[in-house]
Structure 1
């Protein structure tokens, strides 16, 4: 019965998309009905939001139009900025934050040690428990962690407002989320002992804007390039990746070509963007060009798989939730929400659904799997409702040195096991990129001191 109900729901969603009645139906059914099933878990995980509260907030918005959607989430973001200013009165508006002295906030956080990176996205109950048990938690440090948590939540709410890009109002929210993330890096970089550097890499009339995170010091480090998917941003991955600040590896986080701030649409030719990024980063002063890996999430995992078979720089790659062939076929598009279809149109530069179908089919990697000769870790949930799980299975079966990890009863990108697979992928990367004598413990085993 549940399978029949799901099939009917998917058919209804596609019918609304084809008849251009999604907005009308959203007024009655709510926006959550027309969003990917993992939407709540995804953003709750990013920002340390209470999933039940966020789900309730999502029920409160019944339109995808910019004037409603963006203003709704922007208001929630502004509430978090107000809470931050209450906890830490020295904080200023984002437009003036770059000139602030962040030393006082860092100094107040420093007694809490490395657990700050965990506390900033933990549940309220977990934070209260940890602080109550920590003798180092002074009233000032508690105010500071409250301010930091509010900052992360504001970043997240602005990103939800920006979802999935493609309009002026959503891009304004995207810029605000990025500006606040810059504030976060000014606090967390020195606190964790890492250098966080904004990088602009020009490629054939387009610009890659990413962040290079390198352990402090003078040593050379392996590099992992990380790319998000169709409507993912740098900050969505960078915030949880701060947990691995002492992994011994540098990371460069970028968004997928064709999304958000890029000027050119995504196509098979976008491979050149990644080649240029790899080439330039391989010459960075403290990067070991002989030890480079790639991690892609969702549509970014498509590029992880593709580059694993075409780049001379990569030693290993991780592909989580990769669409590779079956996802690009017409039969797999039933049930894809209208807002995701519009994001695909914007990203690929397609003008019609027919054109979109042709552009997606041109991305197929079905005949490419055997070219992947480096170690490849393929991850997904075994019940992906957004892309075909079979793509992950076929990719792992076809690549020459692949491992497959499917999480049972989990959805796209195994979001219910996000922390688990992120730990696993980091450990797997260290195995392939770090000398045996310098491998670091997994984050779960690292002391909070």
Structure 2
């Protein structure tokens, strides 16, 4: 650790302990008080220009609910306007109905509005699903030129840019919502999710994909609101239960999954208990929620109950590993960036106040000692050896948010574990995001489809 790194961590911790992070951010901007991978993570999600996003983080001068959300909502709204304008360009010369409001809470349930949007974005739907959001007009033009007949390129380019701006708006509203647990952040979360609901409803028909919004009543009067992606064909399909971490969202997981729509594998996406839309804190007992979700998947005769996998990212990786040890209905598991023991018992030097606050809110901890106890209670070190199914553990070899050693210990102790650490990369190997997603898909295909033949 260099002196500069140590001093920076000391400064971040001092601000957290004295609750002066917001005061310091007025001078430095938000970036020093966010996880090191924050910019890369959202750049991946929305195809954001990393330098531009880093500058936006520097100009964000407060974490206070009103100031933080007002700042990011303004940027998101600019992308909403851009998407709407491009959709309007696609209707030029026609007498069709007005452009549906992509932010409205009613549009996702309006079949006529979705049909209108589907027709408008269809020329670029498959290319977008395969390649995701892009950085800049040049990248979009190159993609369309490579994958679209010359006569269709102008319309396809406009359609792609409309989808791209739409996803960027979804992403910026998610940044505004980070890390949840307050009124204005939750409003931004709901807007991001509503916009995604409309987007996926408009994209799915062109991709020959069925997307269902699923609500599962579970323990403690909670409801899991997830998405079920079903591939074409009668089934029963193998299914992957996918869950994310502390302040991740289902839409963040869903967008890259479109690339694998022809794999023959269904996907159920859900957010981690204790985050965003849940009403109760997370704890060891939250394991029951995942068991009940698996009950729901097993009961769906379109899904193959003998071929259920689980994929967890960040804190979701913790739940994937925990379920691997406790639910023998799971055939194989991928845990990416999972905290499992050392991450819960190590020091907090350099952990930003906003992350500590998010952890406290998620776990229902009232003070620092309470938070330490709640985290320690989550350790599953004594369960590693109970994981008998194939387990793939993924991370960067220099995780600055969790302990990389957790990934190594988990894979080495589980009887059928394998670890894949990406060099010079951080938490969840975000610098190799596309690479490990593709590798994971091949691994899942091998264990869910190839072995069943």
Q: TM-score, normalised by structure 2?
A: 0.93
Q: Give yes or no for contact 1:383–1:412 (8 Å, CA) kept in 2.
A: yes
- Paired position in structure 2 for 1:30: 29
Uncovered stretches (5+) of structure 1, i.e. residues with no partner: 439-449
> Pick from 336, 342, 355: which aligns with 1:320?
336
- Paired position in structure 1 for 2:94: none
> Pick from 332, 336, 340: which aligns with 2:355?
340
Aligned counterparts of 1:301 and 1:46: Cα–Cα separation in 2: 18
The reply to whether residue 51 of structure 1 matches residue 50 of structure 2 is yes
- Paired position in structure 2 for 1:446: none
Q: Give yes or no for contact 1:282–1:289 (8 Å, CA) kept in 2.
A: yes
Aligned counterparts of 1:119 and 1:281: Cα–Cα separation in 2: 29
- Paired position in structure 2 for 1:238: 254
Uncovered stretches (5+) of structure 2, i.e. residues with no partner: 89-98
Q: Give yes or no for contact 1:131–1:137 (8 Å, CA) kept in 2.
A: no
Deviation track 1:381-403 (CA, whole Å, cap 9, x = no partner) reads: 01000000001011011111000
CA shift in 2, pair 1:380/1:119, >3 Å: closer
Q: Give yes or no for contact 1:120–1:145 (8 Å, CA) kept in 2.
A: no
The reply to whether residue 106 of structure 1 matches residue 118 of structure 2 is yes
- Paired position in structure 2 for 1:80: 79
Deviation track 1:167-220 (CA, whole Å, cap 9, x = no partner) reads: 000000000000001011112211111110011111121111110001123221
Report deviation, 1:114: 2.5
Q: Give yes or no for contact 1:298–1:320 (8 Å, CA) kept in 2.
A: yes
The reply to whether residue 253 of structure 1 matches residue 269 of structure 2 is yes
Q: Give yes or no for contact 1:112–1:136 (8 Å, CA) kept in 2.
A: no
Aligned counterparts of 1:268 and 1:168: Cα–Cα separation in 2: 26
The 5 A counterparts of 1:252-271 are 252-271=268-287
- Paired position in structure 1 for 2:92: none
SS of corresponding position for 1:88: helix
- Paired position in structure 1 for 2:372: 357
- Paired position in structure 2 for 1:92: 101
- Paired position in structure 2 for 1:137: 152
SS of corresponding position for 2:326: coil
Aligned counterparts of 1:9 and 1:138: Cα–Cα separation in 2: 49
Report deviation, 1:111: 4.1
Report deviation, 1:434: 0.5
State the number of aligned residues: 436
The reply to whether residue 127 of structure 1 matches residue 137 of structure 2 is no
Deviation track 1:34-79 (CA, whole Å, cap 9, x = no partner) reads: 0001001100110111111111111111100011110111111111
Aligned counterparts of 2:325 and 2:128: Cα–Cα separation in 1: 38
Aligned counterparts of 1:156 and 1:110: Cα–Cα separation in 2: 21
Aligned counterparts of 2:191 and 2:47: Cα–Cα separation in 1: 19
The reply to whether residue 175 of structure 1 matches residue 195 of structure 2 is no
